Structure 1
Amino acid sequence: MYNLGIEMTEEDKKLLSTFEARLRHLMYLHDELKRENTEIKQLLEAKQEEVAKLRSDYNELEVVYANLKIAKTISLTSNEVKDTKQRLSKLVREVDKCIALLNE
């Protein structure tokens, strides 16, 4: 204990001891919260990386699905040729409309 020229009573000593104990406890809690915060930040970063990877995988799967749809449309049997021609005509008309809008 520090002696600053002031005589401390027993009650003062008890209060100071209690204060020191509480301060040490608060410092311990602070360190624990800092450690927990670091762990949570690391977990958040890992989850963000996982989400980014899943989004990338999803986008790749969308492209594959679109390609499969086109491949299925192209590889139809002779009975479905008429439907395929209609779909292709519709796609061509949509592209023509888009080109017309871009030319405006």
Structure 2
Amino acid sequence: MNPNEKALATFETRVRQMILRFQDMKKETENLRAQIEKNGQDIKDLQAKLTQAENDYQSLKMAKMIEITDGDLESAKGRLSKMIRDVNKCIAILSDEE
């Protein structure tokens, strides 16, 4: 084998190695892109669950605030009446300013 044939064979081997490495990197890139897409979907799902949990929490908090037992009915009516009177006073004050 003369030096030119040897150099050509070495070059051919290196090119094949580069092609194989390129194919491996291409597969790895595809896998990473698929993982990124999956992670993105997981993030969207978790954000939706978080939003739902926040809404559920707000609803529960509101339900607890307006939950009235039989013993608290009179005091709740009194608090509502006081709130209504306060709102009416504010409206009257604002009406007088105009």
Q: How do residues 1-104 of structure 1 correspond to structure 2 at under 5 angstroms? A: 10-76=2-68, 78=72, 81=76
Give the distance between the partners of 2:4 and 2:55, measured in 1 at CA.
76
Shift of 1:75: 1.1
Identical columns (%): 26
Q: TM-score normalized by structure 2?
A: 0.69
Which structure has more RCO (C-alpha within 8 Å, separation ≥ 6)? 1
Give the distance between the partners of 2:51 and 2:67, measured in 1 at CA.
24
Which 4+ stretches in 1 moved above 2 angstroms? none
Q: Identify the residue that residue 6 of structure 1 maps to in structure 2.
A: none
Q: TM-score normalized by structure 1?
A: 0.65
Give the distance between the partners of 1:10 and 1:65, measured in 2 at CA.
81
Shift of 1:20: 0.3
Q: Unaligned stretches of 5+ in structure 2?
A: 88-98
Q: Unaligned stretches of 5+ in structure 1?
A: 1-8, 93-104
Give the distance between the partners of 1:76 and 1:65, measured in 2 at CA.
19
Give the distance between the partners of 2:67 and 2:37, measured in 1 at CA.
45
